[in-house]
Amino acid sequence: MINGRFEEETGQEISVLPPVMALFEHMADENGADGEMLLPFAFEETLCRDVGAGAVLPSLHLWSHPGGVVLGLRDSKLPCAAQAMDRLERRGIRTAVRHSGGAAVPLDAGIVNVSLVLPKSRGKLDFHADFRLLASLITEAVAVSHPEAAACIRAGEIVGSYCPGDFDLAIGGRKFCGIAQRRQSEAYFVHAFVVVSGSGRERGEQIRSFYEAAAAGDQELSYPRVRPETIAGLGELGGPDTSLLFTAGIKEAAMRRGVELVSAAALREKSGYTLDFREPRVLEAARVLRERYAQG
């Protein structure tokens, strides 16, 4: 049992998902796609406030971006970060600085972002339980279509990967997923990027090149020393090789846990709640994030 393996390896129990969750999807190859880098993050910031206020169900958000690089706050403080970002923009690669934890990562249609947006529980102190929850859900999603690959997934920092962390997910020592978290006063979201299709090495090269340019050759600076060979897509590792297959696995994994997923359209019909990338509240949140976390 996959949950059992995660519990055995960590020695701690995994949190459970709420019995009913709203489902929002903004995939790059669908009509939810948009080139503006901060809209998905602004959407989740707004959704998180609504979840905390009880205006909407706890939520699952699945999204991808057609092409960009998103930085962590520390990355944006590197001496030549602004010039390195401008260089990417001139190549048609959008850039932004995100407010959740972590370091620089690429975004494209072959990378699926998975976020759990949940209300805070009183007295809850184990933040890592939510990382384990999302890690186990992603493993179960892989198992829906590729159980042999899922059985090989391990959690733990992959040194040399981009955005390294304690809850990197890897197969055979090659990372395909990283997890970060953002907390508000009444709710929070746990977010994972999952490299599904395409070359992990090429994405690693992109981030390595960014850091080399942003650091201007200063080896004394603190930033991830990316080794591209440590990154791989799930399709390269014997797992699902399309975003469609992986997102179907995520939804199936949630339902196998007994979760009822309520689509955005059904939510609007049942309760009147609506939220999308072009709503004024989301656009305003994007503006605030852009100003607050601008590079430089």
Supply the residues annotated as catalytic: 163
Q: How far apart are CA 26 and CA 247, in angstroms?
A: 11
Q: How far apart are CA 177 and CA 179, in angstroms?
A: 7
Nearest to 139 by CA among 147, 131, 150, 149: 150
Q: How far apart are CA 103 and CA 141, in angstroms?
A: 25
User: Within 156-279, where are the H helices?
Assistant: 200-215, 243-256, 264-271
- Report in angstroms the alpha-carbon separations of 131 from 34, 114, 145, 230: 28, 12, 23, 21
Q: How far apart are CA 28 and CA 9, in angstroms?
A: 35
Nearest to 103 by CA among 246, 218, 210, 28: 210
